[in-house]
Amino acid sequence: MGWGDLLGRWPVWRQLTGADRTGRGAAARSAATDRLRPRTADADRVVKSICPYCAVGCGQNVYVRDGKVVQIEGDPDSPISRGRLCPKGSATLQLTTGPARETRVLYRRPHGTEWERLDLDTAMDMIADRVIKARRDGWQWTDDEGRRVRRTLGFASLGGATLDNEENYLIKKLFTALGAIQIENQARI
């Protein structure tokens, strides 16, 4: 490598002699810059998704590598968002992969002062037992005026506006079949 080549790699030289006199473009480029690659470039696949925050419904591209989500960006194809995301939408990677996500079932027994661990299968079984009991304890065939109501006031549910339509459908279907009527979500709040 001659002196000329070495000198040509010196940004100051390039700034003084090249077209990029402000030193904010080609003159500032280094080998390290050239080696930089976007996280999206090494993704195994791109999965089409929708932003989970507000109801504008911006398109998202979810980049997956080795079975892990590595980046989430706006989807330029979306006629709604045209590739843009707001501060919340741009933080979706942190929302979905950040350390604040709990991944284990926690249990607080009556009058307990701390959380305890519980396996998912046991928890689901305990919850099913409790629903059956609360449903029966709060059951009404008729109300206090003798009108047929076929329902339970024993348990209630709140939530759904952050969930999928299919999830709301199964929740409404199951809880209604159980006779529950106190089924609500953020739409009333």
Partner 1 sequence: MAECHPVGFQWVMEAKARGATVIHVDPRFTRTSAMADLHVPLRAGSDIAFLGGLIRHVLENEKYFREYVLAYTNAATIVSEEFRDTEDLDGVFSGLDPRRRAYDFSSWRYEDAEVSAPSGLQEMRPEERDRVRGAARGEKHGSGGAEVSAGPMRIRTDETLRHPRCVFQILRRHFARYTPETVERICGIPQETFAKVCELITENSGRERTTAFVYSVGWTQHTVGVQYIRTAAILQTLLGNIGRPGGGILALRGHASIQGSTDIPTLFNLLPGYLPMPHADRGRDLEEYLRAETVRKGHWGNMRSYLVSLLKAWWGEAANADNDFCFDHLPRLTGDHGTYRTVLAQLDGVCKGYFLLGENPAVGSANARLQRLGMAKLDWLVVRDFSLIESATWWKDGPEIETGELRTEDIGTEVFFLPAAAHTEKSGSFTNTQRLLQWHRQAVEPAGDARSDLWFAFELGRRIRAKLADPAYRERHGLDDVEMDRPVLELTWDYPTEGRHGEPDAEAVLAEINGRDAAGRPLSSYLELRPDGSTSCGCWIYCGVYADGVNQADRRRPGSEQDWVAAEWGWAWPMNRRILYNRASADPAGRPWSERKAYLRWDESRRRWVGPDVPDFDPATPPDHEPPPDATGPEALSGTDAFIMQADGKAWLYAPSGLVDGPLPAHYEPQESPFANPLYGQRRNPVRSLPPPGREHFQPSDGERGAQVFPYVATTYRLTEHHTAGGMSRWLPRLSELQPEFFCEVSPELARERGLEHLGWATVITARSAIEARVLVTERMKPLRVQGRWLHQIGLPYHWGPNGLTTGDAANELAHIALDPNVHIQEVKALACDIRPGRRPRGRALRELVEEYRRRAGIDEQTGRQM
Smallest gap from residue 36 Cβ to partner 1 (A): 21
Select 21 or 48, whichever has its Cβ closest to partner 1: 48
Select 12 or 181, whichever has its Cβ closest to partner 1: 181
Query: How far is residue 181's CA from residue 140's CA, in Å, rounded to a whole number?
Result: 12
φ and ψ at 89, to 5 degrees? -60, -35
Smallest gap from residue 35 Cβ to partner 1 (A): 26
Select 31 or 100, whichever has its Cβ closest to partner 1: 100
Query: How far is residue 175's CA from residue 167's CA, in Å, rounded to a whole number?
Result: 12
Query: How far is residue 77's CA from residue 49's CA, in Å, rounded to a whole number?
Result: 11
In the structure encoding, which two tokens stand for residue 32, read together?
């390290």
Smallest gap from residue 39 Cβ to partner 1 (A): 14
Smallest gap from residue 70 Cβ to partner 1 (A): 10
Select 17 or 142, whichever has its Cβ closest to partner 1: 142
In the structure encoding, which two tokens stand for residue 75, read together?
């989807």
Select 28 or 137, whichever has its Cβ closest to partner 1: 137
Query: How far is residue 76's CA from residue 154's CA, in Å, rounded to a whole number?
Result: 48
Smallest gap from residue 106 Cβ to partner 1 (A): 4
Query: How far is residue 137's CA from residue 120's CA, in Å, rounded to a whole number?
Result: 25
Query: How far is residue 96's CA from residue 40's CA, in Å, rounded to a whole number?
Result: 17
Query: How far is residue 10's CA from residue 31's CA, in Å, rounded to a whole number?
Result: 11
Select 38 or 129, whichever has its Cβ closest to partner 1: 129
Query: How far is residue 129's CA from residue 178's CA, in Å, rounded to a whole number?
Result: 13
φ and ψ at 165, to 5 degrees? -55, -40
